């Protein structure tokens, strides 16, 4: 009887919570992506003025509900001196969204280096998504890298990803193009990942 009541309580009053890190260099568009995500998936969230978002120093937190799953995002500052703090969040994470600025070819090697530092044993079973931001701007910026360009640039990282689920998702955070597809993919992956069980949180 206790097991039945406990299961009923969890079904009615609790959600499975998954923690997703948003990593990448400073000014790549991480916070803008998070704001668009909260706006699209939270009915009563009005959102920040996207044109007034500044560089994150420390941490931004956002939460959305998708069905019975709750995603808690940790948007971490991408400055070089803050990247050493990323690993403090690895053990509790279920997924990682690594943001790449498609219009910033000059910092692509720097982004690859930061990405390489992320791959530790603590993240061996975590789902990964490369988020290629500012893609539709390629008609306005001649230096915008295409998704194939970025895949090629990061191809030597494939052994670090291994056989786990991984997606390269084109996106424009300012307009929201590609946000839904990326989030829905992440939800499916973290829910079915038996190696990183969710945390139980009461529905509020």
CATH number at residue 155: 3.40.50.300
- Structural domain span for residue 113: 23-202
Does residue 2 fall inside a structural domain? no
| pTM attached to this predicted model | 0.88
State residue 145's pLDDT score.
87
**Residue 45 confidence (pLDDT):** 85
Asked if residue 132 is part of any domain, the answer here is yes
Check the annotation: does 116 bind a ligand: no
- Domain membership of residue 3 (yes or no) is no
Any domain includes 155:
yes
Flag whether 56 is marked binding.
yes
- 58 is known to lie in a ligand binding site: no
63 annotated as belonging to a binding site for a ligand: no
- Looking at the predicted structure, is the pLDDT value of residue 135 above 60? yes
* Tens-digit pLDDT profile for residues 146-186: 889 898 988 887 777 777 888 899 998 888 999 999 999 99
* The pLDDT of residue 4: 45
- Residue 7 is assigned to a structural domain of this protein: no
Q: Is the pLDDT confidence value at 50 over 60? A: yes
Domain count, the chain: 1
95 is in an annotated binding site: no
139 is annotated as contributing to ligand binding:
no
Residue 6 in domain: no
Q: Would residue 13 count as lying in a domain?
A: no
The answer to the question of whether 172 is labelled as a binding residue is no
- Select the more confidently predicted residue: 10 or 120: 120
| Mean pLDDT, residues 69-92 | 94
Query: Considering the domain boundaries, does residue 12 fall inside one?
Result: no
Whether pLDDT at 83 is above 70: yes
pLDDT confidence band for 134 (50 / 70 / 90): confident
User: How many other CB atoms sit within 10 Å of the CB of residue 188?
Assistant: 14
25 is in an annotated binding site: yes
């Amino acid at each position: 009887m206790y097991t039945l009541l406990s299961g009923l309580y969890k079904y009615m009053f609790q959600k499975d919570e998954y923690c997703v890190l948003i990593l990448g260099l400073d000014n790549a568009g991480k916070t803008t992506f998070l704001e668009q995500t909260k706006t699209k998936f939270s009915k009563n969230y009005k959102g920040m003025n996207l044109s007034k978002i500044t560089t994150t120093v420390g941490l931004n937190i956002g939460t959305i509900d998708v069905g019975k799953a709750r995603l808690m995002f940790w948007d971490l500052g991408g400055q070089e001196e803050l990247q050493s703090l990323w690993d403090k969040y690895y053990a509790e994470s279920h997924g990682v969204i690594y943001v790449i600025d498609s219009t910033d070819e000059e910092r692509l090697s720097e982004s690859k280096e930061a990405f390489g530092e992320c791959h530790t044993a603590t993240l061996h079973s975590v789902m990964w998504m490369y988020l290629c931001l500012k893609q539709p701007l390629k008609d306005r910026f001649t230096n915008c890298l295409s998704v194939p360009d970025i895949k090629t640039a990061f191809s030597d990282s494939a052994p670090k990803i291994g056989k786990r689920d991984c997606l390269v998702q084109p996106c424009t955070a300012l307009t929201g193009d590609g946000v839904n597809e990326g989030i829905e993919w992440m939800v499916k992956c973290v829910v079915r990942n038996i190696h990183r069980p969710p945390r139980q949180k009461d529905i509020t």
